[in-house]
Structure 1
Amino acid sequence: MSLRDQESFLSNIHPFEVLNGEEMNLCIRNMDIAYYPKDTTILSPEKNSTHFFIIIKGTVHEITSEDQMVMDFHQEDSFDANSLIYGECKNNFIVKEDLICYELEKKTFLSLIENNTKFKEFFLNNLVSKLQNLKEKKYTSELSSFMIAKVSDTVTHEPCIVQSGTKLIDAIESSIKFNTSTIIVEKDGKYGIITDSLLKMKVLLEGRTLTIPVDDIAIFPLLTVNKDDYLFDAFSILIKKNIKRVGVVDNRGNMLGILEQIDVLSHFANHTYVVDSKIKKASNIKDLKQASIELINTITILNAKGVKVNHISNLIGQLNTKVYKKLYGLIIPKELQNDACLVVMGSEGRNEQIIKTDQDNALIIKDGVDVEQYRPYMEEVTRTLIDFGYPPCEGNIMVSNPFWCKSFQAYTDETKKWIEAPDMQNYMDLAIFFDSFAVAGDKELLIKLKDDLFNKLHDQDVFMAYFAKATLAFDTPNIIANFMTKTHYIDIKKTGIFPIVQGIRSLALRERIRETTTVKRIKILERRKVLESSMANELLEAFDILCTLRLKSQLLKLQENKKINNEIDTHSLGKIERDLLKDSFKIVIDFKKFITYTFRIDKIS
């Protein structure tokens, strides 16, 4: 290789691209090409490293003293920084395919560590920082202001703040001076809001005078966001709560301004709002179908703009909820709507189904109400959702199935059976039901059912151990050894996503956590000290990476008119994506060990 070729090769190896020209030249001057035949032990606990290795061609396996493979290294991979930095090699590095590699002298490598902060941070930071570093390099070119914009980056309007007890007419005069139609009322350090529509409804229509105190009509509390929050999160709140404005506060809770929905829309200029508006305005099934179909375009646009998969699933989940709620109102007669509760379950209940892969839903009906009168409407709901593009559930977990359309008492009898006579089907049904989220009707029915479930699980340690055991149901690769072979498809849901979801779900069930999304459950478990911060952060990073890779694969299949599934083609992954996947699987494997220990799974048959 020429010097130019060497520099080009190194520049594509992270984090060597952060080196300046002088540092890159230093590398090239102190780097040689070496060859090692198959089965050579390059490093071991008895044979510490004198070089940093960068693979040009071939394969190296890292193997523990117990003969467990922990990593395989291929073209453009590098090893072993740890033995150079810490002066010891813990595992054996054995050549499995004839190896051609660069060897960078230890002295030079440590000099780069000492003099280049970014280079140092990559090798010395924890796994979470490494993952974030890799993701930043991978997706920086794909990012836009859509993803990284903060609330402080867009237009906020100076707030017209009046104190509690102010006469309404004085408050209106003040708002005119501020040239705003929004009045903020401050009371005991908290904020409320008065809008034009509120003045019409509470004053004009009710014939009240303008001398009343603002407290009489102000709505408390005013929803707020922090100035440092992501603008996309603020947009999600506006969509979820169906409101037109939120307050903007600083880290001390002081009111800084008002963020209007129209300003967020003008900043993003995407068609998410269009879809939301179409759902709201839909007066028949045909119009609602059109709005639902456009969700795929929304997903594609958000993904192309570099929006995090967690944000996409959150927003799409909220829009899906609105589709379900609108459909419920269009199909079920008004006199029956408040005697039942429509719920979504599984990945839909967790807000984690982005692409429409199937439907998991159920109906809870008040005791004493005739269940049979709902059945034809539930069959119509299922047929309509299929027509909307929500595939039928292969396990028939849908409201058209009588098992998932029954009375409150019937569900309490069912949950008792799940716990007292558990089998694999009952464990699965419980897991799906625990992730349920109410979308329409009387939501108290679901709340009470979960209260009943939590009470039944008191002191059920053996049951919880078996429930958590499902976390181990599928093998997670401890290496990605098939990147360069014919077998290169991995079911990323079974190997990575499901173990995180099920393990976290088991902890959440034991802790009586009502939140359904995996990300929020992790954060709650961290606050409760069930998960250490380091593990929680690693799980959040791994879950984001795995879901992102799955979404990328699914969108590609959509474009190619292929069947949507959870398989990813590892041959299509770039070097950094392979590294992200490898490190994510390492996190999943460690989490499985934690779940095994926490629930004493090794003590049950």
Structure 2
Amino acid sequence: MSILEQINFLKSIHPFDKLTKSQLEYFSDNLDIVYLKKDEIIQDFSQEPQNLYFIIKGIVQEKNEEKEVLSFYSTLEFFDSVSLIENFSKNRFVTKEETICYSLPREIFIKVLHENPTLESFFFQSISQKLNGNIHHEKNKELANLMIAKVKDARVHEALILPFETTIFEAVTKLKEAKVPTLLLEDENKEIHIVTDSDFREKVILNRMDFDESVGKISNSGLKYVNENDFLFNAQLLMTKHGLKRLVVKNNDEKIVGILDQISLSSFFATHTFSVSNEITRANNVEELKVASQALLKIIKSLYAKGVKVSFISKLINQLNRKVMDKLFNMLAPKELIGNSALIVMGSEGRGEQILKTDQDNALIISNDCTISKEDLENFTRLYTETLVDFGFPRCEGNIMLSNPYWCRTQKEFKDLIYNWINKPEKDSYMNLAIFYDAICASGNRKLLDELKQHLFNVCSDSKSFYMHFAKIVMDFDVPLGFFDGFVFDSKNKEHQHELDIKRGGIFIVVQGIRALSLEHKLMRANTLKRIKELTDKKVFTTEFSEELTEAFNYLCTLKLKSNIEKLDSGQVIDNYIDPDTLTTMEKDLLKDSFKIVNKLKKKLENHYKLNYV
């Protein structure tokens, strides 16, 4: 390129359009063109970066040390200003395909940066947003990216550990001296217990306890622990799952180093996640529970807008949804069902991959010796389904709900049903089996479901014929990608002629393919990504293909969520269709790459199960 073309190139990239004429010429005089092969590492962990890169053509991935992809950079984008300013690279930058870049020496960039106040303001403002998490949505300055933020990045209170037999008076005195709100106690068996300020108020003062009694009498056990290097988001999931306000923090040597509480953790959030979780816990009636459940959409939108990964969002929302369903079940269920049944959620809800509220897919397993009457059971299941509809969970079009007697049975009846699905298959048998295999227990006696899944594994045994027919359904779904990497549209679908069904053409193929392999290997996991990991551990997939498949699945789910949020905001009905013309060039390329990986999985399934012969 000529100097003029280089100047115009730089001016097309914000904030370099704010450079003066002489600064643009200075930059242009010092630009070099770099040609890079696919999978070439441009900049590695802990390196002192040498250049700022402007992409002319190609795609570059930014990955952390856990090999998670944090960002993509494509044509007319640059990287990595943060590393240049800090003179340290904390991530790896590697080409996704053959790439051509301009490189600008670090000293040139830093010199002009300090000479141009607008440029300096832009980059230092950006750095303050990105230091803890590579935030790419600048409008949300208050949130550090939770994929990167660790527990130790939050405010962890000092751990004050005293003997179990310490008196109440001595304990309060020590707490005041240490200026911490929580006390840990160690008993003679080296077990750790906890005492909070509310314990002193509610157990000591209100019960008029003697201050010379052992503080251990008011302590609580069953603590949950988290490593200081674990992701902060995982700490939130743990708190949400168990309804906790505090976690005990350990280091890599298993030594207790502090306590993480809700207040410290919530400073990393702007979504009121804990308040919603607490509202669900505190709900005293159905109306209060409904109000709490309706706040979930706001959380989804907020987390997505702030760049939090879809897999993390789905984990959190799945935990909250299950909490709502469990609470509702215990509010409405007749006493005969409590402890003698299992409310299960299936399909995408069971896999923990449903984010926005879609059709109900649930069932009720009843213990064989439960004494509930048929009339009471029917009244409850009908009421439960109608209440979920009122909460915003639509009826399942296929009537896969516990209000349908087909999905409300004793454990023995379910065993017979599973046997028939496998050995006497009818039209919907394999679909019902697939939905059931994805089930998790949302409330009640989980053992009832676990025993049914073990029964499922036993009935399947090692029947190659069954697995072949179970996996064959993926061959009925075509990946919408042509021979020359062009998108293929369904000309028969008049309503969505220029759109792609991203679920049918990508997500479902991955889900069903992984489901078939997981059933063959008798995995209890329901989540697709966790199944991929276990299959990789069993050497079914190579590590490289596992990473590709995980990345492709996450990307397809992200595009689907993005599209549905946009449709919700504009008052449209959410569906599985996306218009590729609304995507950027980089997004289109990534979608094509994802479809290629789906095709690769499809080919593996075809070879493994000899699907051409079924």
Q: Secondary structure at the match of 2:571?
A: coil
1:161-172 matches, within 5 Å, as 161-162=161-162, 167=166
Shift, 1:361, TM fit: 0.4
Partner of 2:349: 348
Amino acid paired to 2:233: F
Q: Please report how far the alpha carbon of residue 191 of structure 1 lies from its aligned counterpart in structure 2 after TM superposition.
A: 5.0
* Partners of 1:242 and 1:500 in 2: CA distance: 33
| Corresponding residue for residue 434 of structure 2 | 431
SS at match of 2:179: coil
Does the 8 A contact of 2:400 with 2:407 survive in 1?
A: yes
| Alignment partner of 1:233 is 2:234 | yes
Match of 1:178 in 2: 178
1:219 corresponds in structure 2 to 221
Report the CA distance shift for 1:119/1:535 in structure 2 as closer, same or farther (over 3 A): closer
Could you tell me which amino acid in structure 2 is paired with residue 411 of structure 1? Answer: F
Alignment pair present for 1:520 and 2:530: yes
Describe the SS at the equivalent of 1:542: helix
2:95 paired with 1:122: yes
Instruction: Give me the TM-score of the superposition, normalised by structure 2.
Output: 0.74
Q: Is the 8 A contact 2:58 2:96 kept in 1?
A: no
Q: CA-to-partner distance for each residue in 1:549-585, whole Å, 9 max, x for gaps?
A: 0000001111111111111111110112112211111
Q: What is the deviation of 1:507?
A: 2.2
Kept after mapping to 1: 8 A contact 2:6/2:28: no
1:246 counterpart residue number: 247
CA distance in structure 1 between the partners assigned to 2:186 and 2:98 by the alignment? 45
Counterpart of 1:121 in 2: which secondary structure? strand
Shift of residue 296 of structure 1? 1.3
Is the alpha carbon distance of 1:459 and 1:216 closer, same or farther for their aligned partners in structure 2, counting shifts above 3 Å?
Answer: farther
Partner of 2:387 in structure 1? 384
Determine the C-alpha separation between the residues in 1 that align with 2:405 and 2:573: 29
After superposing the two structures, state which structure 1 stretch, 470-479 or 514-523, moved more: 470-479
Which residue pairs with 1:157 in the alignment?
157
- Partner residue in 2 for 1:264: 265
Preserved CA contact (<8 Å) 1:500 1:543: yes
Aligned-pair CA distance for 1:174: 4.4
**Residues 541/192 of structure 1: CA separation in 2 closer, same or farther (3 Å cut):** farther
Map 1:372-411; keep pairs closer than 5 Å: 372=374, 373-411=376-414
Q: Cα offset for 1:152? A: 2.1
Residue 225 of structure 1 deviates from its aligned partner by 2.1
Equivalent position of 1:481 in the other structure:
486
Query: Aligned partner of 1:252: which letter?
Result: D
Residue 430 of structure 1 deviates from its aligned partner by 0.7
- Gaps of at least 5 residues in structure 1 are 32-49, 53-75, 82-101, 103-115, 127-135
Letter in 2 for 1:180: V
Q: How far apart, in 1, do the equivalents of 2:251 and 2:421 lie?
A: 48
What letter matches 1:397 in structure 2?
Answer: I
C-alpha change, 1:398 and 1:27, in structure 2 (3 Å) is farther
Relative to structure 1, is the Cα distance of residues 193 and 12 closer, same or farther in structure 2, using a 3 angstrom cutoff? farther
Please identify, of 555-564 and 140-149, the stretch whose mean Cα deviation from structure 2 is larger.
Answer: 140-149
Q: CA contact under 8 A between 2:511 and 2:528: conserved in structure 1? A: yes
Tell me how far 1:478 sits from its aligned partner: 3.5
Contact 2:346 2:440 in 1 (8 A): yes
> Structure 1, residues 218-271: CA drift from partner, whole Å, max 9, x if none?
524x32222233222211211111001112222333322111012112332322
CA 1:10–1:599 in structure 2 vs 1: closer, same or farther (change >3 Å)?
A: farther
Q: CA offset at residue 186 of structure 1?
A: 5.6
Equivalent runs, 1:134-145 vs 2, <5 Å? 139=136, 141=138, 144-145=143-144
Deviation of residue 463 (structure 1)?
0.8
By how many angstroms is 1:437 displaced? 1.2
**Please, which moves more after superposition, 542-551 or 4-13?**
4-13
TM superposition shift of 1:597? 2.9
How many residues are treated as equivalent by the alignment? Answer: 515
2:171–2:215 Cα contact (<8 Å) kept: no
Equivalent pair of 1:194/1:219 in contact (CA under 8 Å):
no
Distance 1:570 1:197, change over 3 A: same
Q: Which moved more, 1:268-277 or 1:200-209?
A: 200-209
Q: 2:481, 2:487 within 8 Å by CA — same for their partners in 1?
A: no
**1:334 Cα offset (Å):** 3.0
- The runs of 5 or more residues in structure 2 that have no matched partner are 18-22, 38-54, 61-74, 76-88, 100-132
Given candidates 552, 567, 584, the residue that maps to 1:557 is: 567
Aligned to 1:280: 281
Change (3 A) 1:234 1:193: same
Q: 2:604 aligns with which of 594, 598, 602?
A: 594
CA offsets, 1:253-292, max 9 Å, x none? Answer: 3322111012112332322223222222222222222222
Q: 1:189 to 1:283 in 2, by over 3 A?
A: closer
- Aligned AA for 1:544? N
The CA deviation string for residues 167-224 of structure 1, in whole angstroms up to 9 with x for no partner, is 565666544432334333568887554445567899897989966695995524x322
Q: Give aligned-pair identity as a percent.
A: 39
d(CA) in 1 for partners of 2:10, 2:157: 49
**SS of match in other structure, 2:512:** helix
Residue number in structure 1 paired with 2:419: 416
Partner of 2:543: 533
Answer whether contact 2:3 2:25 (CA < 8 A) is retained. no
Which residue matches 1:572? Answer: 582
Task: Give the secondary-structure state (helix, strand or coil) at the position aligned to 1:476.
Answer: coil
**Residue identity in the other structure for 1:539:** L
8 Å CA contact retained: 1:349, 1:435: yes
Secondary structure (helix, strand or coil) at the match of 1:496 reads helix
3-state SS of the aligned residue for 2:268?
A: helix
Once residues 597 and 25 of structure 2 are traced to their aligned partners in structure 1, the CA distance between those partners, rounded to angstroms, is: 37
2: CA distance, partners of 1:27 / 1:476? 45
Q: Is the 8 A contact 1:185 1:218 kept in 2?
A: no
The within-5 A match list for 1:465-480 is 465-479=468-482
> Given residue 154 of structure 1, which amino acid in structure 2 is its aligned partner?
A
Q: In 2, Cα distance between the equivalents of 1:295 and 1:179?
A: 36
> Is this contact kept in 2: 1:202–1:208, CA < 8 A?
no
Q: Using the alignment, how far apart are the partners of 2:435 and 2:186 within structure 1?
A: 44
Local SS of the residue matching 1:336: coil
1 or 2 for the larger relative contact order (CA 8 Å, sep ≥6)?
A: 1
User: What is the CA-CA distance between 1:160 and the residue it aligns to?
Assistant: 1.2
Q: 2:568 aligns to what SS in structure 1?
A: helix
Is 1:452 matched with 2:452?
no
The one-letter amino acid of 2:346's match is M
Q: Residues 281 and 30 (structure 1 numbering): CA distance in 2 closer, same or farther, change over 3 Å?
A: closer
1:209/1:358 Cα in 2 relative to 1: closer, same or farther (>3 Å)? same
Paired letter, 1:463: F
Q: Given the superposition, is the C-alpha separation of residues 375 and 239 from structure 1 closer, same or farther in structure 2, using an over 3 Å criterion?
A: same
- Secondary structure at 2:337 match in 1: helix
Distance 1:51 1:261 in 2: 46
- The reply to whether residue 321 of structure 1 matches residue 322 of structure 2 is yes
TM-score under structure 1 normalisation? 0.75
State how far apart, in whole Å, the 1-side matches of 2:562 and 2:518 are: 29
Contact kept in structure 2, 1:246 and 1:258, CA below 8 Å: yes
Change beyond 3 A, Cα 1:125–1:80: closer
Which secondary structure does the structure 1 equivalent of 2:382 belong to?
A: helix
Q: Distance in 1 between matches of 2:302 and 2:218?
A: 44
